[in-house]
Amino acid sequence: MRTLWVSAVAWLPLAAAAQWSSFDARDHQVVDPFAVSACSDAASQEVRSRMPSAGSVKVTRADGSVAGESRVDVSGDGSFAGAGGQAQTFTFRCSYDTKARTTSGVTVLL
């Protein structure tokens, strides 16, 4: 019985290695934290430029995803104090170039 146990244990690493080989690294890439920060800042600036009276602009959610070798796409939501202090919301999208460290395609929907 002991030899069966040793045999079973011996093939477990092989099964794990076979399963690991199908791992797709693209699904688990780490998003550059500067991308999320830079796009959040760019979206906040866009809100301020379109709504000069906007107060306390805040990004409440920002999610990044790798979109290419050197590009991260970021989308999210935010809020700001509008006319009369009423809270208003916005959504945004942005691309970040990790090599050039620049944002582009900043789109804000108020």
Is residue 55 in some structural domain? yes
Is residue 65 in some structural domain? yes
Which residue is associated with the tokens 């019985």? 1
Q: Which domain holds residue 102?
A: 31-109
The CA–CA distances, whole Å, from 53 to 74, 83, 85, 95, 107 equal 26, 7, 10, 26, 19
* Residue 109: pLDDT over 50: yes
What would the mean pLDDT of 96-100 be, rounded to a whole number?
96
Measure the CA–CA gap between 52 and 55, rounded to whole angstroms.
Answer: 8
* Residue 82: pLDDT over 70: yes
Is residue 12 in some structural domain? no
Is residue 41 in some structural domain? yes
Whether the CB-CB separation of 98 and 75 falls below 8 Å is answered with: no
- The total number of structural domains in the chain stands at 1
Is residue 13 in some structural domain? no
In this prediction, residue 80 carries a pLDDT of 97
* Residue 79: pLDDT over 80: yes
Q: Which of 11-15, 37-41, 52-56 has the highest mean pLDDT?
A: 37-41
In this prediction, residue 26 carries a pLDDT of 47
Whether the CB-CB separation of 80 and 60 falls below 8 Å is answered with: no
Instruction: Indicate the average pLDDT of the chain.
Output: 81
Is residue 10 in some structural domain? no
Nearest to 32 by CA among 66, 2, 9: 66
In this prediction, residue 84 carries a pLDDT of 83
Whether the CB-CB separation of 73 and 106 falls below 8 Å is answered with: no
Is residue 92 in some structural domain? yes
Is residue 82 in some structural domain? yes
